[in-house]
Chains A and B, each alone.
Chain A
């Protein structure tokens, strides 16, 4: 499992360096017991040896069910976790080995938008201050007056009235707060944004507004997104490529249309089958093959292929050896021996 998946060089740009390259990333969390003396009694394999690469301007979707390791992957990229092993290269540099100045620059270029806009905004700060703060910290616009102008500009870009600069987060709706979260991420001129369930908590009409905003910003500023979501319909709409995770493993990776039109891994197929489509005629014609069983604990993952206890195609060898993540067609990667 060492191949760096997804190195799909853009046409005419063969050999172009990957913008972000994640190789054999592992993030194990210790599970401890004891009050005075903490003993490690087990490990949660939140991310267990995943590899992928991204190009500048690309949106990669990271999907999978609760607890499969999506957020942890994002946090590792953001340098919010000390990884157990593996390497993350950003613009060719190992992000775990950056010196202080480079790290501060990295923290400016790589931003995050969270699911819950409320808990990520300081309730005692006005929206204007929330947006100006990162620019001040990173010394992007030292002049306070110019900073205020930029705040107004950011509010405009994100479709918020400039009146909001003087309001507090609790005076805004969920959709408005999510726009503030986006504006704050944009305030420091990032290149790369981890969108972690950025639209998941929003109602459909507001969600559509925010999705359109994210797309416009991507086009306008050439942003690269790691788009983490459990909503596959949203992912199909916004992403260029999609990676599917299950219990800390990456099980499939392909271009968006390829993944949704020709899913290969049995888990991806089950996942897509489970998503209802808002059209009764389509639904009536669909075969619903519903995967049985529950997701095992990442503290005690099944041996061999982690999906084997729920898999229809599983054979004896699946219980022993973890399948290799292999390129089954150009650009389409799958971790399953039986397909």
Chain B
């Protein structure tokens, strides 16, 4: 496969009265063509800010990308003039957000919003754009597409709005879709419908996807490759199998032990991560997971552990990566 996106040493910071928030602190990862890459981690660890940085949509002047590069098909997005970047956003990379209501315009009909993006991209006449809009709505599984064009966002359920958002994302025939918690607000049967749809579309159209989520089940079902994020850094990455069956970072291990599983009978108690997530304005030079880590020792406080190769595409940033317990829960 060929490389589509290569993020290297990305750092994004917010300058607030409480200090500098290191929201993204040296993130490096790749996305290959047609691949589904997941970014997982708890609230506030920097998942959305990473995505916004790729799109160059971080709210300035409070926030700013301070270091790194984002190579998309060989061009560094961070160096592009805004004009060029707008073209990238319109034609190459699309974004789907968690709450479609806030990203759809409430006073414009679905048809108008869809045909507008189609026309921007293809420069075709009204009738052709409308036909393409109907086709796109069909593609995302909306029944009665003709009639839907005349409806407004508030006429649609949450699941249908998310389908419209995906149709709009697809309208520009992107190479990459960044989906930030695309189903978190939806019911589980609707969530399954939407994720299955996205999986099929990316497969059939060869579109790559970055899926941002805190749901470890969603990752296991859909991702080819997984990046686990903690306090602004990717602390472990690998295939889904690597991450779930052979975790090499205490945080990943702890996350897996914290989630109750649908396929496991009640029995052993959950084994949660102790303590609270860190304040990203008050990090020291040591490992940021140290205060909550069961394996930590003096060395962990001296410097941040380097990212080291485990095997294949599996990497971990932990001094104790070879001394961890097995992730298997004892059945009881």
Q: Which chain A residues have a beta carbon within 8 Å of chain B's beta carbons?
A: 65-66, 173, 175-176, 203-209, 211-212, 215, 230, 232-234, 236-239, 256-257, 260-261, 270-283, 288, 290-292, 294-295
8 A Cβ contacts from B183-241 to A: 187-193, 196, 214-222, 240-241
Considering residues B216, B220, B222, which has the most beta carbons from chain A within 10 angstroms of its beta carbon?
B220
8 further interface pairs, Cβ-Cβ under 8 Å (given A234-B260, A279-B263): A65-B190, A173-B276, A204-B255, A208-B271, A233-B261, A256-B266, A277-B261, A294-B157
Q: List 16 A-B contacts (CB under 8 A).
A: A65-B187, A208-B258, A208-B259, A208-B273, A232-B188, A233-B217, A256-B265, A257-B266, A271-B188, A276-B192, A276-B222, A277-B220, A277-B221, A277-B262, A278-B219, A290-B193
Q: Are B261 and A208 within 8 A (Cβ)?
A: no
| Contact for B189 among A204, A207, A274, CB less than 8 A | A274
Considering residues B221, B241, B271, which has the most beta carbons from chain A within 10 angstroms of its beta carbon?
B221
Q: Are B217 and A204 within 8 A (Cβ)?
A: no
Q: Are B241 and A232 within 8 A (Cβ)?
A: no
Instruction: Give Cα A204–Cα B40 distance, bound, in whole angstroms.
Output: 11
Q: Are A236 and B266 within 8 A (Cβ)?
A: yes
Considering residues A175, A176, A234, A278, which has the most beta carbons from chain B within 10 angstroms of its beta carbon?
A278
Within the complex, the shortest CB–CB distance from A292 to chain B, in Å, comes to: 7
Within the complex, the shortest CB–CB distance from B197 to chain A, in Å, comes to: 10
Q: Are A237 and B188 within 8 A (Cβ)?
A: no
Q: Which residue of B lies closest to A237 (CB)?
A: B260
Q: Are A238 and B266 within 8 A (Cβ)?
A: yes
| Contact for A274 among B42, B191, B258, B270, CB less than 8 A | B191
Q: Are B196 and A211 within 8 A (Cβ)?
A: no
Q: Mark B130-166, 1 if CB is under 8 A from A, else 0.
A: 0000000000000000000000000001011000000
Complex contacts, B259 vs chain A, CB 8 Å: 204, 208, 233, 278
Complex contacts, A280 vs chain B, CB 8 Å: 220-221, 240-241, 244-245
Q: Which residue of B lies closest to A204 (CB)?
A: B258
Counting CB contacts under 8 A, is B256 at the interface? Answer: yes
**A65 with B262, Cβ < 8 A, contacts A208-B272, A281-B241, A294-B159 known:** no
Complex contacts, A205 vs chain B, CB 8 Å: 42, 254-255, 258, 272-273, 277
Instruction: Give Cα A256–Cα B263 distance, bound, in whole angstroms.
Output: 12
Q: Are A292 and B192 within 8 A (Cβ)?
A: no
| Contact for B187 among A204, A277, A282, A295, CB less than 8 A | A295
Within the complex, the shortest CB–CB distance from A280 to chain B, in Å, comes to: 4
**A211 with B220, Cβ < 8 A, contacts A204-B255, A290-B193, A291-B189 known:** no
Considering residues A175, A232, A238, A282, which has the most beta carbons from chain B within 10 angstroms of its beta carbon?
A282
Within the complex, the shortest CB–CB distance from B290 to chain A, in Å, comes to: 15
Instruction: Give Cα A173–Cα B275 distance, bound, in whole angstroms.
Output: 11
Q: Which chain B residues have a beta carbon within 8 Å of chain A's beta carbons?
A: 42-43, 157, 159-160, 187-193, 196, 214-222, 240-241, 244-245, 254-256, 258-266, 269-274, 276-277
Instruction: Give Cα A277–Cα B240 distance, bound, in whole angstroms.
Output: 12
Complex contacts, A270 vs chain B, CB 8 Å: 189
| Contact for B260 among A203, A211, A279, CB less than 8 A | A211
Instruction: Give Cα A151–Cα B212 distance, bound, in whole angstroms.
Output: 40
Considering residues B215, B240, B241, B260, which has the most beta carbons from chain A within 10 angstroms of its beta carbon?
B260
Complex contacts, B272 vs chain A, CB 8 Å: 205-209, 212
Instruction: Give Cα A239–Cα B277 distance, bound, in whole angstroms.
Output: 28
Instruction: Give Cα A260–Cα B190 distance, bound, in whole angstroms.
Output: 20
Q: Which residue of B lies closest to A292 (CB)?
A: B193
Within the complex, the shortest CB–CB distance from A283 to chain B, in Å, comes to: 4
Q: Which residue of B lies closest to A66 (CB)?
A: B187
Q: Are B263 and A277 within 8 A (Cβ)?
A: yes
**A276 with B218, Cβ < 8 A, contacts A65-B188, A288-B192 known:** yes
Q: Are B220 and A279 within 8 A (Cβ)?
A: yes
Q: Which residue of A lies closest to B257 (CB)?
A: A208
Q: Which 5 A-B pairs have the closest CB atoms?
A: A276-B217, A208-B272, A237-B260, A274-B192, A205-B273
Within the complex, the shortest CB–CB distance from A151 to chain B, in Å, comes to: 22
Instruction: Give Cα A261–Cα B262 distance, bound, in whole angstroms.
Output: 10
Within the complex, the shortest CB–CB distance from B148 to chain A, in Å, comes to: 13
Within the complex, the shortest CB–CB distance from B25 to chain A, in Å, comes to: 19
Within the complex, the shortest CB–CB distance from B174 to chain A, in Å, comes to: 25
Instruction: Give Cα A260–Cα B265 distance, bound, in whole angstroms.
Output: 9
Q: Are A237 and B270 within 8 A (Cβ)?
A: yes
Within the complex, the shortest CB–CB distance from A39 to chain B, in Å, comes to: 23
Q: Which residue of A lies closest to B215 (CB)?
A: A276
**A230 with B157, Cβ < 8 A, contacts A173-B276, A212-B269, A290-B196 known:** no
Instruction: Give Cα A208–Cα B192 distance, bound, in whole angstroms.
Output: 24
Instruction: Give Cα A292–Cα B263 distance, bound, in whole angstroms.
Output: 23
Instruction: Give Cα A257–Cα B266 distance, bound, in whole angstroms.
Output: 8
| Contact for A288 among B191, B196, B217, B263, CB less than 8 A | B196
Instruction: Give Cα A281–Cα B232 distance, bound, in whole angstroms.
Output: 29
Instruction: Give Cα A295–Cα B159 distance, bound, in whole angstroms.
Output: 10
Within the complex, the shortest CB–CB distance from A101 to chain B, in Å, comes to: 39
Instruction: Give Cα A208–Cα B259 distance, bound, in whole angstroms.
Output: 7
